[in-house]
């Protein structure tokens, strides 16, 4: 009677193939985890942006004279500086003008943007057609833009200096 010889080494080859397949799966899982963390950070900054746009809109509603005088316009080029902005004071401590209140509001608001978002800044412009409307762009530096995520085209052209990398922007429109 002749016995069959057991096959030698086949199980080792199967284990190696399984390890290769599993390593591809683990690499894909690591990539998905990284993307998930990145997108959750973007969502966090978008939430902060919504809160900050509501904040400045409420400040404008509370100071309609300053709003009507365009004291809340902030149309300078984007700056990713994190240095605190000096909050101005009123000329008369007991009676601030609407323009002084607006400059205090803007300084406090921009300081909050800078402390809550990386490179946080804004571009605020009152609509010239609908005089009760204001356009607000919340901007921040996003590391994901350098890592291949698509830039947001919502940034106003006047807010980004030529030749610089565009920040991530969120656009809001408020009616006072």
Instruction: Give the DSSP letter string of 105-129.
Output: HHHHHHHHHHHHSTT-EEEEEE-SS
pLDDT score at 16: 92
> Structure pTM?
0.80
Residue with tokens 């800044």: 121
On average, the pLDDT of the chain sits at 88
Q: Which residues pair with 171 in a beta bridge?
A: 137
- pLDDT value, residue 1: 60
* Phi and psi angles of residue 57, each rounded to the nearest 5 degrees, phi first: -65, -45
Give residue 13's pLDDT: 85
pLDDT score, position 162:
80
Helix (H, G, I), strand (E, B) or coil at 137: strand
Return the pLDDT at 7. 65
Q: Which residues of the chain have pLDDT under 50?
A: 148
Write phi, then psi, for 121 (nearest 5 degrees). -155, 180
pLDDT value of residue 81: 86
């Amino acid at each position: 009677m002749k016995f069959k010889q057991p096959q030698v080494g086949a199980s080792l080859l199967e284990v190696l193939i399984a390890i290769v397949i599993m390593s591809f799966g683990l690499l894909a899982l690591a990539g998905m985890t990284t993307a998930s963390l990145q997108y959750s950070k973007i969502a966090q900054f978008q939430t902060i942006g919504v809160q900050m746009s509501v904040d400045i809109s409420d400040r404008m509603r509370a100071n309609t004279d300053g709003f009507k005088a365009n004291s809340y316009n902030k149309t300078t080029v984007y700056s990713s500086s994190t240095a605190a902005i000096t909050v101005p004071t009123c000329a008369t401590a007991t009676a601030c003008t609407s323009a002084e209140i607006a400059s205090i509001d803007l300084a406090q608001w921009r300081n909050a943007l800078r402390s809550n978002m990386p490179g946080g800044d804004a571009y605020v412009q009152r609509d010239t057609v609908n005089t009760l409307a204001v356009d607000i762009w919340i901007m921040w530096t996003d590391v994901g833009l350098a890592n291949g995520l698509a830039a947001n085209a919502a940034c106003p052209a006047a807010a980004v200096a030529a030749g610089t990398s565009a920040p991530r922007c969120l656009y809001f429109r408020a009616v006072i």
